[in-house]
Amino acid sequence: MKIVIQRASEASVTINNVRVAEINQGLVILLGIEDADTDDDIKWLSSKIVNLRIFSDENEVMNCSVKDVNADIILVSQFTLHASTKKGNRPSYIKASKPDFAIPMYEKFIHQLEVDLEKKIQTGQFGADMKVALINDGPVTIVIDSKNRE
């Protein structure tokens, strides 16, 4: 699994001109799933997200987690995170999982994140054409691949 985390002062997801998710302070997380991903990847990434210290403390040092500051999360599926651009100019998405595998993994990830964060998160809609808007706070953007843990 690959994720892109963006710390946001506000964010939203719109589908067909309907706002389906909206937060103030929090994280926007783009999630890419591949066939090699497992429940262990879900648990590891969820724990990493919830405990990652990327919010400022009282001394303006990034020392607090999303959980510490009671911030919100929007999770958006993003198969293009597995794009290969090695050959030619048209990205290949062959590593990205097909919906029959990816949707259950996406739903498990949502559940695990809610358990670890101890509150409901907001999401986009798997496979939909979404408009994701955010004000990146910092800016802080972090990329994590569960296959590169060590």
- DSSP conformational letter for 91: P
Angle at 135 between CA 124 and CA 2, to 5 degrees: 50
Centre a 10 Å sphere on the Cβ of residue 40 and count the other Cβ atoms it contains. 10
Helix (H, G, I), strand (E, B) or coil at 41: helix
C-alpha 4 chain-centroid distance:
6
Amino acid at 71: A
Encoded tokens for 92 = 């290949």
The reply to whether 14 belongs to the active site is no
Of 14, 38, 80, 123, the catalytic one is 80
Contact 10, 23 (CB under 8 A): yes
Classify 103 in phi/psi space as left (phi over 0), alpha (psi -120 to 50) or beta: alpha
Q: Which residues are catalytic?
A: 80
